[in-house]
């Protein structure tokens, strides 16, 4: 009985040691400001101004860490309403785009659903055929996904 318990303890110790070695022998992944700046796609399907302020803050924080990061905010569904030039967050969005490295994508399907035309959008917003397809396209290009909703 005692021998069996010793074997079980020994096997557990070997297993734990192997697990620890496996964790420590993994290749290092670059994190932090020294890592190459990735692209980010921010998916916003919400018409709530606080959600959009969260997206604006996320862009600001990422650019503080990765100044040359490429970013795209994709508005679809009810979120398309926040790309209107008359929206409360319009000045913040226009400032982000003017600062460089940030694109705004407006879903044509959502625009049609909400009766919005391209001339009603904030300056420099680009109309894309479908917001969800644009998000998937950017992810396929290696952009990291963020959801502000």
In the chain, what are the domain boundaries? 40-147
For residue 42, what are its two tokens?
A: 């921010």
Query: Which pLDDT score, from 0 to 100, does residue 86 have?
Result: 97
In sequence order, which residues have a C-beta less than 8 Å from that of residue 34 and are 6 or more positions away?
A: none
Q: Quick one: pLDDT at residue 149? A: 74
pLDDT band at residue 144 under the 50/70/90 scheme? very high
Q: Is residue 63 very low, low, confident or very high in pLDDT (cuts 50, 70, 90)?
A: confident
Sign of the torsion angle spanned by Cα atoms 69, 85, 114, 50: positive
Among candidates 11, 26, 50, 13, which has minimal Cα distance to 149?
Answer: 50
CATH ID of 40-147, from 3.30.365.10, 3.60.20.10, 1.10.599.10, 3.40.1260.10: 3.40.1260.10
% pLDDT > 70, the chain:
75
pLDDT of residue 80: 98
Mean pLDDT for the stretch of residues 22-30: 36
């Amino acid at each position: 009985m005692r021998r069996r318990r010793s074997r079980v303890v020994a096997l557990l110790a070997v297993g734990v040691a192997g697990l620890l070695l496996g964790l420590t022998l993994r290749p290092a992944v670059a994190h932090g400001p020294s890592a190459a700046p990735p692209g980010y796609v921010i998916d916003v399907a919400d018409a709530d101004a606080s959600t959009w302020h969260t997206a604006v803050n996320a862009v600001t924080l990422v650019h503080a860490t990765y100044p040359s990061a490429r970013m795209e905010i994709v508005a679809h569904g009810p979120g398309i309403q926040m790309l209107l030039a008359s929206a409360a967050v319009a000045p913040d969005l226009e400032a982000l785009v003017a600062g460089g490295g940030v694109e705004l994508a407006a879903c044509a399907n959502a625009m049609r659903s909400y009766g919005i035309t391209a001339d009603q959008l904030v300056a420099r917003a680009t109309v894309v055929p479908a917001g969800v397809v644009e998000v998937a396209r950017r992810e396929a290009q290696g952009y990291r996904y963020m959801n502000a909703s």
